[in-house]
Amino acid sequence: MQTQSSNPEAERRIQKLTQHLNPLPRHLLSATNHHFAIKPCAAKSKLNVDTSSLSSYMRGKNNDIQEKVIKFFNANPHLQTPIEISKDDHRELCMKQLLGLVKDAGIMPLHYVLHDPSTYFAILEAVGSYDMSLSVKMGVQYSLWGGSVMNLGTQKHKDKYYDAINNLDYTGCFAMTELHHGSNVQGLQTIATFDPITDEFIIDTPNDGAIKWWIGNAAVHGKFATVFARLKLPNYDTKGVSDMGVHAFIVPIRDMKTHQPLPGIEIQDCGHKVGLNGVDNGALRFRSVRIPRDNLLNRFGDVSRDGKYTSSLPSENKRFAATLGELVGGRVGLAYSSVSVLKVASTIAIRYSLLRQQFGPLNQPEVRILDYQSQQHKLMPMLASTYAFHFATTNLVEKYSEIKKTHNEELVADVHALSAGLKAYVTSYTAKSLSICREACGGHGYAAVNRFGSLRNDHDIFQTFEGDNTVLLQQVAGDLLKQYQGMFKGGTLAVTWNYLRESMNTYLSQPNPVTARWEGEDHLRNPKFQLDAFRYRTSRLLHSVALRFRKHSKSLGTFGAWNRCLNHLLTLAESHIESVILAKFIEAVQSCPDRSSQSALKLVCDLYALDRIWNDIGTYRNVDYVAPNKAKAIHKLSEYLSFQVRNIAGELVDAFDLPEHVTQAPIAMQSEAYSKYTQYVGFQ
């Protein structure tokens, strides 16, 4: 008969499982050195976090405008969105909320859209904490409709439309998407034909696939639309027409007095949606709608009275790129707003987990569910990611604000690529995290009052509008390949891609067999090791996909080769964005002036980096960048850091400084019997 001692590995595994199911009494926990045993919070030293200093460092300069929004809603409870509300009532309430902010609170978003984008995004964050439908409706009015007129038009358009857009007299839409074309904007089919006799453009929807679809503000409130259409000019030599590509036009869609659709304009309601039902999305069809020639938004291309076309840009592709480049603010705003949603969800889930108690040692009080390693594994890397995304998107907003002032061409290209990648990566991560947060709160998370349902439904479309995430990641990958090719031709690299030169040289040489085995905590928590690892992975992916793409292009052509390598390209883009996020997080840690805040941020940053490395450890092991013993050390350290972050999780979510109505959301998770929970959130 075989004895237990003959199989020590099985005995060790049984002991480990037993400790998870029946933890040791608390007085014995300190006697064991097993790293993964469940430990009470007091078993480890805890960082002292100055929450107010950390919050001040994160919040920046825009607290005053956000407080103004919050005070307005607190003073007008009838304008706060109830949990249960019909589609039609929600739309009307959303419009009343927007009118109240502008006309009563005196907040004029269009000024900030044009001159101070960081303040504008702060306003969106504040209003979105009350109702994401309101933030999206505001974005449609000011960033899309107002922004397109101001940024694609010229001085005559600014003089005519600025004040009326700003004070909501001219409510408007952004009519780009069509039933058959969303991401492929160059494939739009709506036509704008110039009539030289009447000096007008004739807007037509040539077929059902060209109906403008999902147009915010169109179903109920919009009076104007920026319509993207193919400009057709008469060709006097051949008696035909020339297609000049996609341009933007101001098209009135409703009568200013009666609010009825104008002649030739057909408007339909897109109906009830998965989320954002306070936004009135509609469909627009144009039947020979005539507009003055001055309604062409002519910053990048103009038509004279005799039908001659002029442009400062040499080609249709250049004009198209310039047009879309002016609309990049929408992606910047979505990335920033998505982080705000992640802050709300993680705060609710973590505060609940700090208070909810389930199971525990025999004859002793139940333990908080955040003391369970499985709950920490769900929520602590997420909390670390929230901080990482905060600093990355804040940096993106700062860069975007700078280009609005300086028009630096190199920075414009950098922001265009960075906004595409961050919007895609952050919104995808947040969408997944919302479901994890709901699950982490058990059945209580399913109650509508706790917001996970509305947050998840409202945020879900962030992955699609302003650019489908998969398409945007391909754009990032394409830019990486261009930079890669240019690097070997001796060209200079754009700002965000500078690291590739050194990192690629490291990749093309063999991994250092000595550093591949270093496993000390100081080494693993060194930001240079972490950033080098992220960038090495990106360089490896870039080099390998470039070789694959070149190989397949010979037999499949460019399009076929791209499709054959598509998953590889998407992984490359995500890896690059993760490298950028980590770099900005490390910069934020090093720049933090308060020592206690800096220590907390360093801990969170280390968890973010090592958790990411562990999640893709196979990549590093395949090329011996990390030896087996080092991989094991990374895993152990990341779990230890997760436990340490758990110890200050309450302070970390407090530092988000979310409005009171957000932090009170979890109260409905508990019945009246859980009195200490209601006291925690401020109820008597």
Tell me which residue of 206, 258, 201, 205 sits closest to 232, measured CA to CA.
201
Tell me which residue of 188, 232, 234 sits closest to 209, measured CA to CA.
188
52-55 contacts, C-beta under 8 A, 24 or more apart:
53/594, 53/596, 53/597, 54/594, 54/596, 54/597, 54/600, 54/601, 54/651, 54/652, 54/655, 55/654, 55/655, 55/656, 55/657
Q: Given the residues 466, 574, 578, 639, select the one marked as catalytic.
A: 466
| Residue 394 identity | T
Rounded to an integer, what distance in angstroms lies between the CA atom of residue 642 and that of residue 604? Answer: 8
Tokens of 304: 């004279």
Rounded to an integer, what distance in angstroms lies between the CA atom of residue 204 and that of residue 229? Answer: 9
Rounded to an integer, what distance in angstroms lies between the CA atom of residue 310 and that of residue 318? Answer: 13
Q: Quick check: 172 and 249 in contact, CB under 8 A? A: no
466 is annotated as an active-site residue = yes
Kindly give, in sequence order, each residue whose CB lies less than 8 Å from that of residue 52, ignoring residues fewer than 6 positions away. Answer: none
Q: How many residues does the chain have?
A: 684
SS3 content of the chain, % helix, strand, coil (to 5): 60, 10, 30
Tokens of 427: 């919104």
Rounded to an integer, what distance in angstroms lies between the CA atom of residue 510 and that of residue 251? Answer: 61
Rounded to an integer, what distance in angstroms lies between the CA atom of residue 580 and that of residue 588? Answer: 12
Angle at which helices 373-406 and 628-647 pack, to 10 degrees?
90
Question: Known catalytic residues?
Answer: 466
